[in-house]
Amino acid sequence: MRISESTIGQTLSPLVKPPIAQEQLQRYAAASGDYNPIHLDPAAARSVGLDGVIAHGMLSMAFLGQFVNQQISDEPRARVERIKVRYAGMVRLGDTLTCEGKVTGRAEGATETAITLECWAQNQRGEPVTTAEAVVYVPRG
């Protein structure tokens, strides 16, 4: 289904990310410059009271960005105008994240349609870890 044909309340195609691996966290640290040991070293994580390494919240936020872009991938002129993301809970090494969402708003303009999406990433236990609201603009014609 094309996002331009969506209706309010319609659910979006989910995006499942494979389990978060230590190697992935190392790549994220190198790309972002975030070398916080609780994200990279199990011993350091345990020393501050965590039962293991946690993934940086930015990783689940990035997954939601991928999810929104997946929704508009078949609309070459569509663009994400705004995305507000909120970190809601822990993401642990080994978690499988599923990004889901629905259409919550639609406004028809003279030359384009603004579509509001509510989306979230949840772990394999069904606990939301990150939430977002995005506004996508799709030109007409």
One digit per residue, the tens of pLDDT, for the chain of length 141 reads 799 999 999 999 999 999 988 888 788 777 777 777 766 777 877 787 776 666 667 778 888 999 999 999 999 999 999 999 998 887 888 889 999 999 999 999 999 999 999 999 999 999 998 999 999 999 987
The model scores a pTM over 0.85: no
pLDDT of 53 reads 65
Of the candidates 114, 115, 109, 111, the one whose C-alpha atom is nearest the C-alpha of residue 141 is 111
Torsion of CA 105, 71, 55, 130, to 10 degrees: 10
Under DSSP, the state recorded for 134 is E
